[in-house]
Amino acid sequence: MSKLILGIESSCDETAAAVIENGRTVLSNVISSQIDIHKKYGGVVPEIASRNHILNISQVIDGALKESGKTFDDLDAIAVTYGPGLIGALLVGVSAAKAISAARNIPLVAVNHIHGHIAANYIAHPDLEPPFVCLVASGGHSHIVYVKDYMDFEILGRTRDDAAGEAFDKIARVLGLGYPGGPKIEKLAKEGKSGAVKFPQVEFDDNCFDFSFSGVKTAVINHLHKLEQRGESYNAADIAASFQYAVVNVLTEHTICAAKAKGADKVVLAGGVSANGALRQSFEQAAEKNALKLYYPTPILCTDNAAMIACAGYYKAQKGEFADSTLNAAANLKL
């Protein structure tokens, strides 16, 4: 029997709703991005994000239902992101999901946003099944996760300070490229030399899978300050390419190392940063060299969307894990 799930996502600056069938078939995927609103501030302003989610959420949910040709009566469950993310932003999606669930008597599923990013790959690759090692690299998270089963996760490594996407956004701001930084750095880096400046790639003795991106960020800023103080000009494309290389290389090496340590034969990429072409290329080469099969989602499924939340919700519902009306948002939720 076919199962229909409505997904709702509002953890950061995208208000999104989607309807998916049997976990992997997308019937609709509506995303209302607030990028144009936040870019004039150089990043996401939490209060403005919450207000815009409130303005958009009903329309986005209606749009997702209409596009799918379904109604509330057809739904088997509503899956909503309840963390991690911006608390005020999360509360909008959670409140909407709880209201619909109560009014229509539809089961509610609480989804961890990081789980959602991983699940984006099940939609993009209908043949993909756990176990695999997944790199989740986004604006808020940089995790290496061993996905043992659909609902069984082991965190192998995580960032000890900034997330990879956060570093992209910060360096883009320093170079005057605007928000969000990732796609802008990627574009500029294509015209630069990745070996022009050697920026640090941090390794830890106690956990070789952990990351640190605040060092590379500071190194880029210091490098630019020194040049400015000396009155020397710099090639922004070379800086972008060298910075991107340092981040991409460390993400690739740690993830491949983790996959080998776990004896995994599949490596999966997830999160906004996995839309990066240089990252994909670096992983393509490393996967081929190490006889690993590589999976990553289409760019629209890499960044925040509700189809991935509905997919994660489907597997949670399969396990009988439902939420009730006491569900609350959890800004610092762990996987």
Per DSSP (E only), the strands in the chain are 4-9, 14-21, 25-33, 77-83, 108-112, 132-137, 142-149, 152-158, 266-270, 293-295
| Signed CA dihedral, 286, 290, 291, 292: sign only | negative
- Please pick, from the candidates 23, 88, 271, 297, the single residue that binds ligand KG4 as defined by CB under 6 A: 271
Question: Is residue 29 at the binding interface for ligand KG4, with CB under 6 A as the rule?
Answer: no
Q: To the nearest whole angstrom, how small is the minimum distance from the Cβ of residue 216 to ligand KG4?
A: 14
Q: To the nearest whole angstrom, how small is the minimum distance from the Cβ of residue 74 to Zn ion?
A: 27
Q: Which is nearer to Zn ion, 118 or 236 (CB)?
A: 118
Q: To the nearest whole angstrom, how small is the minimum distance from the Cβ of residue 271 to Zn ion?
A: 6
Question: Is residue 186 at the binding interface for ligand KG4, with CB under 6 A as the rule?
Answer: yes
Answer with the entry of ligand KG4, Zn ion, none that 213 interacts with (C-beta below 5 to 8 A by kind): none
Q: Which is nearer to ligand KG4, 49 or 292 (CB)?
A: 49
Number of residues that bind ligand KG4 (CB under 6 A): 19
Strand order in the sheet with 14-21: 25-33, 14-21, 4-9, 77-83, 108-112
Question: Is residue 304 at the binding interface for Zn ion, with CB under 5 A as the rule?
Answer: yes
Question: Is residue 14 at the binding interface for Zn ion, with CB under 5 A as the rule?
Answer: no
Query: Backbone phi, then psi, for 115, in 5-degree steps?
Result: -60, -40
Instruction: Tell me the window of 50-58, 97-105, 176-184, 223-231 that interacts with ligand KG4 (CB under 6 A).
Output: 176-184
Applying the rule CB under 5 A, the residues between 83 and 142 that interact with Zn ion are 138
The CA distance from 174 to 4, in Å, is 45
Cis peptide leading into residue 183 (ω within 30°): no
Question: Is residue 84 at the binding interface for ligand KG4, with CB under 6 A as the rule?
Answer: no
What is each CA distance from 247 to 74, 258, 273, 274, 301, in whole angstroms? 45, 17, 10, 12, 21
Question: Is residue 9 at the binding interface for ligand KG4, with CB under 6 A as the rule?
Answer: no
The CA distance from 205 to 219, in Å, is 21
The CA distance from 89 to 103, in Å, is 22
Q: Which is nearer to ligand KG4, 242 or 303 (CB)?
A: 303
Going by the DSSP 8-state scheme, the letter that residue 271 receives in this structure is S
Q: To the nearest whole angstrom, how small is the minimum distance from the Cβ of residue 113 to Zn ion?
A: 6
Answer with the entry of ligand KG4, Zn ion, none that 93 interacts with (C-beta below 5 to 8 A by kind): none
